[in-house]
Amino acid sequence: MPYERSNIQKLHAYVPGEQPGYRETLGGGDFGEGIVKLNTNENPYPPSDSVMEAIRGLSPEALRLYPPADAAEFRQVAGELHGLSAQHVIATNGGDELLRMLITVFCDPLTPKPRAAEPPPGGEKAPDTSRSVGGGIGMTDPSYTLYPVLANIQDTPVTVVQRTGEDFKLPADYADQLNAAGCQLGFIVNPHAPTGQLESLDTLRQLANEFAGILVIDEAYTDFAPHNALPLLQEGIENVVILRSLSKGYSLAGLRYGYGLASPAIIEALDKARDSYNTDILSQAAATAALRDQEYAKSTWDRTVAERTRLTTALLERGFTVPESHTNFILAQVPKPRAEQSEAPDQAKTIYETLKQQNILIRYFSKPGLTDKLRITVGTPEQNDKLLAILDSISP
């Protein structure tokens, strides 16, 4: 007999992008010359020297003791950086922990309906023991596929609103659809994954004003975009939570550090559900140093944006269709096959697999609307040149 809850038995876990081993990535492993990793949207440049100095500067005594439970120094630095107070900030073990906390704190799980008294013999049919439905989360499709996994772990409903057209535009009635479903949280990734498109501040403000629940704006990629949602919090809008990550913009994906920005009331509610020491002393020191070194971080963003432009242009010249991206990746639709190859299936998948054989990892999604597209992380100039050279060698 299984011991887990029924919803966990039925759960399909989140599937991350391929992660080769540490030695394989650096070279010398089973992959020989090493792997060019352009599939999971890490920053192609290393963290700043100040981050490494902060890590090396930790004393044995700092490791012996428990870390500051509330990451007070980091919260103070993050608040000042964003024109907010420390009370507007919560530190988390990656952005994913913030997502889990939001669903735990604000979304009701499905609950059994009360059982009616047993009917007498020959009486009415057995009572309805199905479960009632709370509001749960709302999200668009396509979007970050971890959202429904976390909702299913909490056993809370998921309302999915389809993005429209080949360019996956956000429906104008997104808030109305979430309200109709009674959603307690509404998620929007901005800039959007996997398309890279960016919603305007006016659109976000309108969503927040129209949505009856809490609007979660996932800004994991905001460092590569021209604007963000911070003005909404600075204006005092109460039902907005902004997710930030140090994985992309600050080259700390291996550290697993993120944070949330919201009204002090929401932060206080989230803090009740936070693990007692959810971020360790090493990650607090490194993350704080990373935020303080804005000059270095911005230099990596600028280089990435420049390479994003160059890579986009190069792919367009090779027949790909590449919408404008405001992230550190692009979503490229593969060239349509020639007339004599019109029946050739899975061209995007074939390119993905061929690149993988050449030790270049990109992302292929086998879901409707995305099967003719490839998501490619923007790498260093050398990595992007290698990608383009191999694409040229396999072009028909």
- When pLDDT is averaged across residues 22-29 and rounded to a whole number, the result is 52
Give the pLDDT confidence score for residue 121 in this predicted structure.
56
Tell whether the model's pLDDT for residue 127 goes beyond 50. no
Give the pLDDT confidence score for residue 25 in this predicted structure.
55
pLDDT confidence of 348, banded at 50, 70, 90? Answer: very high
**Residues 98 and 225 grouped into a single domain:** yes
Tell whether the model's pLDDT for residue 36 goes beyond 90. yes
Burial letters for 54-88: b for 16+ Cβ neighbours within 10 Å, e otherwise? Answer: beeeeeeeeeeeebeebbeebbebbbeebebebeb
Question: Any idea which residue has 């409903």 for tokens?
Answer: 157
**Residues 163 and 33 grouped into a single domain:** no
In the three-class reduction of DSSP (H, G, I as helix; E, B as strand; rest coil), residue 243 is classed as strand
Range of the domain at 373: 6-47+296-394
Give the pLDDT confidence score for residue 129 in this predicted structure.
45
**Residues 128 and 246 grouped into a single domain:** yes
Give the pLDDT confidence score for residue 86 in this predicted structure.
98
Average pLDDT of the chain is: 91
**Residues 100 and 236 grouped into a single domain:** yes
Tell whether the model's pLDDT for residue 170 goes beyond 60. yes
CATH code at 76? 3.40.640.10
* Among 269, 293, 317, residue at a domain's last position: 293
Give pLDDT tens digits for 249-295.
Answer: 999 999 999 999 999 999 999 999 999 999 999 999 999 999 999 99
Show Cβ contacts of residue 101 under 8 Å, excluding neighbours closer than 6 positions: 92, 270, 273, 274
Tell whether the model's pLDDT for residue 215 goes beyond 60. yes
pLDDT confidence of 198, banded at 50, 70, 90? Answer: very high
Tell whether the model's pLDDT for residue 141 goes beyond 50. yes
Tell whether the model's pLDDT for residue 31 goes beyond 80. no
- When pLDDT is averaged across residues 127-142 and rounded to a whole number, the result is 74
Tell whether the model's pLDDT for residue 154 goes beyond 50. yes
- Measured from the Cβ of residue 13, the count of other Cβ atoms closer than 10 Å reads 10
* Among 235, 259, 293, residue at a domain's last position: 293
**Residues 105 and 169 grouped into a single domain:** yes
**Residues 301 and 288 grouped into a single domain:** no
Is 303 among the domain residues?
A: yes
In the three-class reduction of DSSP (H, G, I as helix; E, B as strand; rest coil), residue 262 is classed as strand
Cα 17 to Cα 66: distance, rounded to the nearest angstrom: 33
Tell whether the model's pLDDT for residue 115 goes beyond 50. no
**Residues 288 and 310 grouped into a single domain:** no
- When pLDDT is averaged across residues 116-144 and rounded to a whole number, the result is 67
* Among 293, 320, 338, residue at a domain's last position: 293
Is 360 among the domain residues?
A: yes
Is 232 among the domain residues?
A: yes
Tell whether the model's pLDDT for residue 342 goes beyond 80. no
Contact between residue 151 and residue 161 where contact means Cβ atoms under 8 Å apart: no
- Secondary structure (DSSP) of 315-381: HHHTT-B----SSSEEEEEPPPPPGGGTT---HHHHHHHHHHHTTEE-EE--STTTTTEEEEE---H
Give pLDDT tens digits for 43-101.
Answer: 999 999 999 999 999 999 999 999 999 999 999 999 999 999 999 999 999 999 999 99
Is 118 among the domain residues?
A: yes
Cα 9 to Cα 250: distance, rounded to the nearest angstrom: 37
**Residues 43 and 54 grouped into a single domain:** no
Cα 15 to Cα 128: distance, rounded to the nearest angstrom: 36
Tell whether the model's pLDDT for residue 28 goes beyond 50. no
**Residues 225 and 283 grouped into a single domain:** yes
Give the pLDDT confidence score for residue 17 in this predicted structure.
81
CATH code at 31? 3.90.1150.10
| Number of structural domains the chain divides into | 2
> Per DSSP, which regions of the chain are E strands?
36-37, 89-92, 111-112, 131-132, 137-141, 158-162, 185-189, 214-218, 240-245, 258-262, 329-333, 360-361, 363-364, 373-377
Is 269 among the domain residues?
A: yes
Is 212 among the domain residues?
A: yes
Tell whether the model's pLDDT for residue 345 goes beyond 70. no
**Residues 195 and 71 grouped into a single domain:** yes
**Residues 271 and 179 grouped into a single domain:** yes
Is 1 among the domain residues?
A: no
**Residues 147 and 240 grouped into a single domain:** yes
Judged by average pLDDT, the poorest of 146-155, 178-187, 251-260, 345-354 is 345-354
